[in-house]
Amino acid sequence: MKFTTSWDDGYALDMKISKLLNTYGAKGTFYLCPQKQHGKEMLGPDDIATLIKEHELGAHTINHPKLTLITAEKAREEISESKKRIEKLSGKSCDMFCYPYGDSNDEIENIVKEAGYKGARGTAQMLFASDNEYQQNTSLQIAPFPKRKTHSRWWHKLDQYGPFRVKRKLIKTYGIPLRECTTWLSLAKAMFTYAQSTNQPYFHLWGHSHEVEKYDMWEELEAFLRFVTKQKDVEHVVNSSLL
Ligand SMILES: [Zn+2]
């Protein structure tokens, strides 16, 4: 089975992710956006030069807008300019795009295709295959589970187990026992085992390095990568290798 990871926005902390991936022989696609996010420090030119040596760079627009909420002309500019920027940084063709907030529709997908990308990652989770190269599905995001750790919306307090609630149906479909749903790490391992035992095409882990830091999940991330390394017949690849 192929194992890939992806990391959004281009935070300076992505270098910590890259080191971890290198330790366990894993590969990642880093979707960079020059616009500062959440007031965090972003990757500098030297960091990017180091990243390219081991991993893949993908585009994630210039200003991180919701692409369906701006004009088609503006969307085209965000999509093609960010491709050019990544190609200038890496000296290679930029084949992958990632929709900010996972926001897209048929028109946006077509613009991405016309701009010359070979594929695009979406934010659908709990999946191990994709039937549309411009909506590459993911398997699991690294984020607090089964309970929220912060309440950024007023209703979050009323829905503490939201992260479990939204995955519940597929957890049941995959036959993952509830005892594996007590931590993010136990869910990740159970899903990986399910994917391997049912011969799925891939497992795609993704996230934001600033959230791994914010929610203190570095140990869980490392333990999962260590677990993956110990499994048989795992091929470590970047996102474009799933196409
Ligand atoms: Zn983003």
CA of 226 to the centre of ligand 1 (A): 26
Backbone angles phi, psi at 220, to 5 degrees: -65, -40
Confidence of residue 236 (pLDDT cuts 50, 70, 90): very high
Instruction: Estimate to the nearest angstrom the gap between the alpha carbon of 39 and the chain centroid.
Output: 20
Nearest alpha-carbon partner for 207 in 22, 28, 24, 85? 28
CA of 108 to the centre of ligand 1 (A): 16
Instruction: Give the predicted TM-score (pTM) of the model.
Output: 0.96
CA of 7 to the centre of ligand 1 (A): 9
Q: Please tell me the least confidently modeled range out of 65-79, 119-133, 141-155.
A: 141-155
CA of 179 to the centre of ligand 1 (A): 32
- What domain count does the chain have? 1
Backbone angles phi, psi at 107, to 5 degrees: -65, -45
- Residue 155 included in any domain: no
Nearest alpha-carbon partner for 36 in 71, 4, 12? 12
Q: What is the pLDDT of residue 157?
A: 83
CA of 80 to the centre of ligand 1 (A): 17
Mean pLDDT of 61-90: 97
- Residue 12 included in any domain: yes
Q: What is the dihedral of CA 147, 19, 82, 115, to 10 degrees?
A: -90
Q: What is the pLDDT of residue 151?
A: 82
- Residue 50 included in any domain: yes
Domain of residue 41, CATH code: 3.20.20.370
- Residue 178 included in any domain: no
Per residue in 36-51, pLDDT (tens digit) is 889 999 999 999 999 9
What amino acid is encoded at 80 in this protein? S
Mean pLDDT of 104-120: 98
Query: For residue 40, what are its two tokens?
Result: 């965090």
Neighbours of 107 (CB within 10 A): 12
Per residue in 20-38, pLDDT (tens digit) is 999 999 999 999 999 888 9
Domain ranges, residue 94: 2-142+199-242
- Residue 167 included in any domain: no
- Residue 11 included in any domain: yes
CA of 18 to the centre of ligand 1 (A): 18
Mean pLDDT of 6-20: 98
CA of 12 to the centre of ligand 1 (A): 14
